[in-house]
């Protein structure tokens, strides 16, 4: 069979990810599905950077989708079905709302695909697709094949790698507790090492939900991969800063950047959202701990919790400056359809009539408790405007302090410098 696997367009140029304007991340999920499709002719399409190949015929089209790409995914699915292709939808949104997705596809994969994709392929060939496919057990991470990165037509200078799946935390704003792969599992360190060793890219982003659910595992992994001399970034919980042995191992292994989920400076919001791993009084110590090892810190903060009123923006800005962050991503609380939070807001009559495109964490899609949706959006945008000069003015000294590691990859240095001169506009949409 001829198979096309698509990641729909989602990247927002001029939006909150200003450091990623010049970075193309390999969409690992469709490359893994390609590796599971041995014996078939497979094409991968990252629609952020390449056009959909409408001029070609495919027997099967697989589309991965999140909530904010779901409308685009449905358009693609409907059009491919009109052209005679069988369509299978997967990803976060398909796992949360499989019945809705089935209105636009012959089949939907709920959760992970490693143990059932062969059944999907067989049923496509025999014309017996069964609608919804879901594994009976979570994937053993050692059974995940090496992604078929060779099938990408784009040239990616940052490679994505996964060492684990799932997360033991139960943050109420997160979709993970609502999907089948929420249980944390790790991959054999030797397998991770071999995959990294074969990558030509010198810069790596680990896409794990929470690599640090097993800190001893990460320490052993760091010791193993340190000789590869890769530079890497990862998202992490704030509480790992208490483990000096872990931070030292990360720095020695090439970690130059972490994305930390501080989430809020409002104690009531921490409690109500179930963010048990964070302590606001520790935020300064957390950032200093990473800076001690010359690791840059990008902080994530979220707004719109029921304890947040309009003063949250000024208080958060004050904390951001005090704790000496290197940059921030400011998100608006966004309940994914199919999650408990979404159902709660719906039951309370607080959901707004937004398009799915607005579910990318930069729009108010519900009525906040203590401010208006407009106040919420304008508050976040105004914070970005005020912080723009702060980060630009403080960047020089920070870059100088971390010059040795940044000079190992001049392109990385150029990316950071250029990003500092980009303003963020949260109203921007994918083009």
Q: How far apart are CA 53 and CA 173, in angstroms?
A: 36
- Total residues found in the chain within this entry: 431
pLDDT at 220: 98
pLDDT over 70 at 342, yes or no: yes
Q: If pLDDT is split at 50, 70 and 90, which confidence band does 75 have?
A: very high
Check if the beta carbon of residue 322 is closer than 8 Å to that of residue 282: no
Q: Where are the beta strands (DSSP E) in 304-383?
A: 327-332
pLDDT over 90 at 69, yes or no: yes
Range of lowest pLDDT (222-231, 250-259, 420-429): 420-429
Q: How far apart are CA 394 and CA 169, in angstroms?
A: 34
Measure Cα distances from 177 to 28, 168, 171 in Å: 21, 9, 8
pTM of the model: 0.94
- Phi, psi for 214 (deg, rounded to 5): -125, 90
Q: If pLDDT is split at 50, 70 and 90, which confidence band does 157 have?
A: confident
Range of lowest pLDDT (6-20, 164-178, 322-336): 6-20
pLDDT over 80 at 246, yes or no: yes
Q: How far apart are CA 365 and CA 355, in angstroms?
A: 9
Burial of 256 per CB tally in 10 Å (0-12, 13-18, 19+): buried
**DSSP label at 392?**
H
- Phi, psi for 414 (deg, rounded to 5): -65, -40
The H or E element spanning position 89 is strand 86-90
Q: How far apart are CA 159 and CA 150, in angstroms?
A: 12
| Mean pLDDT, rounded, for 136-162 | 93
Q: Classify the phi-psi angles of 235: left when phi > 0, otherwise alpha if psi is within -120 to 50, otherwise beta.
A: beta
* Mean pLDDT value across the chain: 93
pLDDT at 209: 94
Q: Scan for tokens 């595992």, then name that residue.
A: 217
pLDDT at 154: 76
Q: If pLDDT is split at 50, 70 and 90, which confidence band does 429 have?
A: confident
For the chain, what percent of residues have pLDDT higher than 70? 100
Long-range contacts of 107-112 (CB under 8 A, 24+ apart): 107/131, 107/132, 107/133, 108/132, 108/133, 109/133, 109/134, 110/134, 110/180, 111/135, 111/179, 111/180, 111/181, 112/138, 112/139, 112/165, 112/180, 112/181
Residue 38 neighbours by CB under 8 Å, 6+ apart: none
Greater model confidence, 420 or 238: 238
| Mean pLDDT, rounded, for 176-204 | 94
- Phi, psi for 76 (deg, rounded to 5): -65, -45
Q: Where are the beta strands (DSSP E) in 148-268?
A: 158-161, 164-165, 185-186, 203-206, 231-236, 255-263
Q: How far apart are CA 28 and CA 205, in angstroms?
A: 11
What are residue 260's DSSP bridge partners? 236, 299
Q: How far apart are CA 172 and CA 169, in angstroms?
A: 9
pLDDT at 395: 77
Domains and CATH numbers, the chain: 2-134 (3.40.50.280), 157-419 (3.80.30.20)
pLDDT over 70 at 431, yes or no: no
Q: How far apart are CA 50 and CA 249, in angstroms?
A: 38
Range of lowest pLDDT (50-59, 141-150, 177-186): 177-186
Give the β-pairing of 255-263 and 296-303.
Answer: parallel
Range of lowest pLDDT (52-66, 273-287, 329-343, 388-402): 388-402
Q: How far apart are CA 403 and CA 400, in angstroms?
A: 5
């Amino acid at each position: 069979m001829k198979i096309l696997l698509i990641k729909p367009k989602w990247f927002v140029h001029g939006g909150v990810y200003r450091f990623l304007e010049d970075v193309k991340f390999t969409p690992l999920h469709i490359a893994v599905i390609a590796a599971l499709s041995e014996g078939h002719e497979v094409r991968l399409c990252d629609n952020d950077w390449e056009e959909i190949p409408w001029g070609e015929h495919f027997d099967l089209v697989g589309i991965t989708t999140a909530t904010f790409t779901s409308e685009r995914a449905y358009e693609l699915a409907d059009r491919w079905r009109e052209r005679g292709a069988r369509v299978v939808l997967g990803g976060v949104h398909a796992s949360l709302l499989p019945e809705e997705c089935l209105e636009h596809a012959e089949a939907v994969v709920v959760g992970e695909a490693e143990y059932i994709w062969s059944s999907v392929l067989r049923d496509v060939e025999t014309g017996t697709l069964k609608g919804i496919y879901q594994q009976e057990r979570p994937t053993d991470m050692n059974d995940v094949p090496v992604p078929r990165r060779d099938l990408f037509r784009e040239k990616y200078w940052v490679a994505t790698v996964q060492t684990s799946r799932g997360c033991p935390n139960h943050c109420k704003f997160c979709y993970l507790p609502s999907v089948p792969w929420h249980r944390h599992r790790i991959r054999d360190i030797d397998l991770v090492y071999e995959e990294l060793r074969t990558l030509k890219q010198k810069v790596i982003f680990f896409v794990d939900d929470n690599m640090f659910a097993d800190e001893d595992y990460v320490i052993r992994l760091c010791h193993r991969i340190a000789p590869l001399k890769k530079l890497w970034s990862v998202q992490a919980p704030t509480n790992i800063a208490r483990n000096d042995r872990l931070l030292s191992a990360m720095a020695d292994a090439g970690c130059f950047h972490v994305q930390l989920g501080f989430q809020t400076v409002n104690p009531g919001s921490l409690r109500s959202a179930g963010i048990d791993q964070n302590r606001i009084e520790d935020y300064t110590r957390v950032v200093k701990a990473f800076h001690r090892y010359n690791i840059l810190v990008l902080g994530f903060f979220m707004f719109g919790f029921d304890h947040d009123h309009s003063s949250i923006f000024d208080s958060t800005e004050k904390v951001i400056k005090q704790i000496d962050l290197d940059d921030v991503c400011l998100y608006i609380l966004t309940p994914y359809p199919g999650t408990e939070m979404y159902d709660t807001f719906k039951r309370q009559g607080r959901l707004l009539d937004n398009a799915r495109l607005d579910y990318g964490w930069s729009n108010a899609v519900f009525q906040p408790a203590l401010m208006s949706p407009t106040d919420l959006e304008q508050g976040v945008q105004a914070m970005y405007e005020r912080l723009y000069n702060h980060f630009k003015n403080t960047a020089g000294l920070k870059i100088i302090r971390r010059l040795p590691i940044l000079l190992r990859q001049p392109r990385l240095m150029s990316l950071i410098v250029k990003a500092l001169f980009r303003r963020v506009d949260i109203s921007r949409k994918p083009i």
